[in-house]
Amino acid sequence: MNKTNHILTFFKGIAMGAADVIPGVSGGTIAFITGIYERFINAVKNINIANIKLLLKGQFKKFWINTDGMFLAVLLSGIAVSFVSFAKLMTFLIENHPIVVWSFFSGLIVASTIFIARSVKWNIKTLTAFAIFTAAAFFVTSPENSPLNSNGEYWYIFLCGAIAICAMILPGISGSFILVLLGQYLFMMKSLAEFNFMVIGIFLCGAGIGIVMFSRVLSWLFKHFKAITLASLTGFMFGSLNKIWPWKDTISTFIDNHGTEQPLAQKNILPSAYMEITNSNPQFISALIFALIGFLLIFIIEFISKKIKK
């Protein structure tokens, strides 16, 4: 890559990072749109035992070439800069404007679901996969269920890193959305904003192992069962929408490791009921506007990317 390509790759990394910080937009989708998805997956897939042995033997240059090291380094640098830059903003917005933020995320996820669904060749098999994953996701992500929440324990942070990174490289599913489902999104945003290097380091270790292992599985699935895989992802996203419904009534709470009371189990309610239960403004009009903005944003990105490609 020449210097110009380095700069372009860096900014593509920033775009991927920004997408992955926001639940509902996938860094994998951004990579797909900007034309680097296959190169990214292949580069990660090449971080295998054979190439790691080259590194351990001191054959750094050969390892660097085999794994497309410069491309990965520049791209990951952009992603890292984006993560740190957006973490404080997302933490502030969720804590101070939760209804409009979750509405915006809902619009993004609905649009992402449609975006991926359009690329599926629908038949009995793909419709079955869609139905199964929709039902499973709806049940698992029901807000009435107490989330898997370890209160910041390191083993769980490692596990979240390994799982979330898998979603980050999937076109359509956001890694941050997975963190929302796992109950660790706000915790990780705060850790990034506060430069908690212990938490960040453990998360990255899990992510490193997860991405190396999952890239091979993903490559195999897309090669042999692409339509069913995409249909399953579509169903998962569609069924998970109930998790980020903006208006909720808290059923039970817990105390986090900062001594702050946090929701543990909740139930979805209508905006009118939200006003009665919480005595707070449901901000219905604002929520609707931001949901529409989030919905349109995905298709605006797609439109711009098509113009750039032409």
pLDDT at 129: 92
Which residue type sits at 248? K
Span 193-220, pLDDT tens digits? 788 888 888 988 888 888 777 777 777 8
User: By residue range, what is the domain housing residue 121?
Assistant: 3-309
In the chain, the number of structural domains is: 1
How many CB atoms sit inside 10 A of residue 132's CB? 15
Helices (H) and strands (E) in the chain, counts: 15, 2
Span 142-160, pLDDT tens digits? 666 555 555 567 888 888 8
Identify the residue whose tokens are 């791209």: 75
Task: Tell me what the mean pLDDT of segment 41-55 comes to.
Answer: 80
State how far the Cα of 162 lies from the Cα of 203, in Å rounded to an integer.
Answer: 8
Asked if 169 and 42 count as a contact pair (C-beta separation under 8 A), the reply is no
Is 98 in a helix, a strand, or coil?
A: helix
Span 109-152, pLDDT tens digits? 888 788 878 888 899 999 999 999 888 878 776 666 555 555 56
State how far the Cα of 156 lies from the Cα of 185, in Å rounded to an integer.
Answer: 13
**pTM across the whole model:** 0.66
Helix axes 69-96 and 185-193, enclosed angle (nearest 10)? 110
Asked if 290 and 103 count as a contact pair (C-beta separation under 8 A), the reply is yes
pLDDT for 14 beyond 70: yes
- Tokens standing for 74? 């520049």
Asked if 88 and 26 count as a contact pair (C-beta separation under 8 A), the reply is no
The region of weakest confidence among 134-138, 158-162, 183-187, 253-257 is 253-257
> pLDDT band at residue 173, thresholds of 50, 70 and 90?
low
What is the enclosing helix (H) or strand (E) of 253? strand 248-255
- The rounded mean pLDDT for the chain is 79
